[in-house]
């Protein structure tokens, strides 16, 4: 048997290069290879035992992307909500104030005998007062709505209900503001109706 035939089952780096008899070293080399193979198998088993076992349900859950329903806070969105509510409330309040002023001017005997300049000044004061009140009211209503959406996110009905109750409740603070409560409730109802129509379309 040639040297190549004797060494073909032994790795090349294990073949003695010093010219010693290969038959004498063959058993020792095979024992070393067998011992190293067993040690490698034990190391692989230890690595597998340290890895956590992942069940089919866990692997399915981990494959699902994590999504959060929380609405992120934005200063620009807060300002936009405040500006929208303030502008709409101011315009609506000016209309309500002008209508109330005209009705009062027609019913009051004092204003009927007053000059046109006095009547105009009275209408302007009532319109400005009502526009300011409803601008602050509706702007605060939209700020409360946005705050509820960011912190609690109770849904559209919850946001309108809680913000509307808190905003309308502030009108009870002064007796002069209480006659405006029906108009305030009308504004809140219009906002809810507008939201409903926008979502249903």
* Sole residue written with tokens 């070293």: 25
129 and 35 fall within a common domain: no
pTM, rounded to two decimals: 0.62
28 and 126 fall within a common domain: no
| Total of domains in the chain | 2
Give Cα 155 distance to the centre of its chain: 12
Domain range for 40: 3-63
pLDDT by residue (tens digit) across 14-39?
666 665 666 666 667 767 777 777 77
93 and 177 fall within a common domain: yes
Residue 76 CB neighbour total at 10 angstroms: 7
**pLDDT of 61 above 90:** no
pLDDT by residue (tens digit) across 77-104?
999 999 999 999 999 999 999 999 899 8
Q: Does residue 122 sit within a domain?
A: yes
Q: Does residue 68 sit within a domain?
A: no
- Confirm if 186 and 141 have CB atoms less than 8 A apart: no
């Amino acid at each position: 048997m040639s040297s190549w035939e004797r060494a073909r089952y032994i790795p090349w780096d294990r073949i003695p290069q010093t010219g010693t008899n290969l038959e004498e070293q063959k058993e020792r080399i095979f024992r070393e290879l067998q011992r190293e193979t067993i040690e490698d198998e034990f190391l692989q088993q230890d690595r597998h035992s340290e890895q956590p076992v992942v069940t089919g349900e866990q692997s399915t859950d981990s494959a699902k992307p994590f999504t959060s329903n929380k609405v992120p806070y934005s200063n620009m969105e807060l300002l936009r909500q405040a500006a929208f509510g303030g502008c709409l409330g101011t315009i609506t309040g000016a209309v309500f104030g002008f209508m109330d002023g005209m009705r009062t001017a027609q019913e009051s005997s004092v204003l009927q005998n007053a000059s046109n300049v006095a009547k105009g000044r009275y209408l302007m004061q009532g319109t400005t007062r009502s526009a300011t009140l409803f601008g602050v009211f509706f702007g605060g209503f939209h700020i409360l709505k946005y705050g509820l959406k960011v912190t609690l996110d109770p849904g559209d009905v919850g946001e309108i209900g809680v913000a509307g109750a808190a905003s309308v409740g502030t009108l009870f603070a002064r007796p002069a503001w209480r006659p405006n409560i029906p108009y305030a409730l009308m504004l809140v109802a219009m906002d809810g109706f507008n939201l409903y129509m926008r979502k249903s379309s």
